[in-house]
Amino acid sequence: MKPFAFRVAATLVVSALSSQSVWAQIEPGPIQSVDVHDWASFVAPAAAPERVGPVADEAFALTKQSGPWRDVDFNRLGKAEARLLTLLRGKDWTQAKDWLKQADPDVNAQDPFTKATALTLAAQAGQLDLVRELMRRGAELDRVGAGGATPLGAAVFHGHELVVKDLIRKGARVDVPGATGQLPLHLACATGQVRLIEVLLKAGASYHEVNRQGRHAMDEAALFGQLGAMQTLAHAGASYAEPDLYRLNAVHAAALGQQKDVLAFLERQQVPVPSVLTQVLIDQVRNPVSTP
């Protein structure tokens, strides 16, 4: 059909549908101005059918027991292990050490909820004698525990240099991340632990390794405004301009962390801005938008 003929046919169809004779065949119904269901009388739902089939009572065993679930689960540990972790959580260091000698518990037992181990609790508290005793009794050096950290990561984050050195001396690995993906060197950079950065680098930690967010050690230090940590890394050979997993660098990390001083320092070092987004972040840091 030619275009002109098609247009004519379409016009005739519309005209026919619009005619009074066609609409006369359609009976208009009443117009509702309100929802007929508004304020309808409440009808109680039918009673739920009885459950049929076997019921797995063991699946509801915890709910049938009295007392907090945490206590129920914690008591699944041996008495000696539960007592040890309770003493460590309560910071009863002397009693914990005495209990180790008295009860000889499994030093690698974990808190069912926090996953804390005796070694991570002692390491994060800087309890060197207790750390040594636990290692002597076979505590796993790289097992993730309290706070999702390894014993080395816990000691690094809290700045316990002697514990860090002892763990490394006994064989703790410097390249094992915690549950959050942070390596010990990243934790040292984020917290500005310059001496520990030097210890970790000497032990073989690599400043090229990236964490779960794709940042290497220099980026992590820049993100948290730890200029001393950045300079320590640079003295060891790291570059301020080294690209991370996403081809970004310390400038982007500093802008992301809103670190004005670090941005000024990197600008003086002529570190390039890696992306347009980085420049946008820099502009926001330098000229923050005030909200009424």
Distance of CA 96 to the CA centre of its chain: 31
The Cα–Cα gap between 182 and 112 comes to 22
Lowest-pLDDT choice from 29-33, 86-90, 194-198: 29-33
What percent of the chain shows pLDDT beyond 90? 70
Q: Confidence band (pLDDT; 50, 70, 90) for 291?
A: low
Lowest-pLDDT choice from 131-135, 185-189, 247-251, 285-289: 285-289
State residue 227's pLDDT score: 98
Bigger pLDDT: 188 vs 56: 188
Bigger pLDDT: 105 vs 76: 105
Mean pLDDT of 51-76: 45
State residue 222's pLDDT score: 98
Lowest-pLDDT choice from 134-143, 268-277, 283-292: 283-292
146: pLDDT strictly greater than 50: yes
The Cα–Cα gap between 64 and 241 comes to 60
Contact 126, 160 (CB under 8 A): yes
State residue 25's pLDDT score: 41
pLDDT in tens, 242-252: 999 999 999 99
Contact 241, 270 (CB under 8 A): no
Q: What is the pTM of this model?
A: 0.73
The Cα–Cα gap between 183 and 205 comes to 9
Contact 135, 108 (CB under 8 A): no
Mean pLDDT of 217-235: 98
65: pLDDT strictly greater than 50: no
145: pLDDT strictly greater than 70: yes
Q: Confidence band (pLDDT; 50, 70, 90) for 42?
A: very low
Residue matched to tokens 């549950």? 179
HEC profile of the chain: CCHHHHHHHHHHHHHHHHCHHHHHCCCCCCCCCCCCCCCCCCCCCCCCCCCCCCCCHHHHHHHHCCCCHHHHHHCCCCHHHHHHHHHHHCCCHHHHHHHHHHHCCCCCCECCCCCCEHHHHHHHCCCHHHHHHHHHCCCCCCCCCHHHCCHHHHHHHCCCHHHHHHHHHCCCCCCCCCCCCCCHHHHHHHCCCHHHHHHHHHCCCCCCCCCCCCCCHHHHHHHCCCHHHHHHHHHCCCCCCCCCCCCCCHHHHHHHCCCHHHHHHHHHCCCCCCCHHHHHHHHHHHCCCCCC
For residue 209 the two structure tokens come to 């390794």
The Cα–Cα gap between 131 and 123 comes to 6
pLDDT in tens, 165-198: 999 999 999 999 999 999 999 999 999 999 999 9
- Domains of the chain plus CATH, in order, are 71-147 (1.25.40.20), 181-292 (1.25.40.20)
Distances (CA, A) of 2 to 6, 9, 13, 14: 6, 11, 17, 19
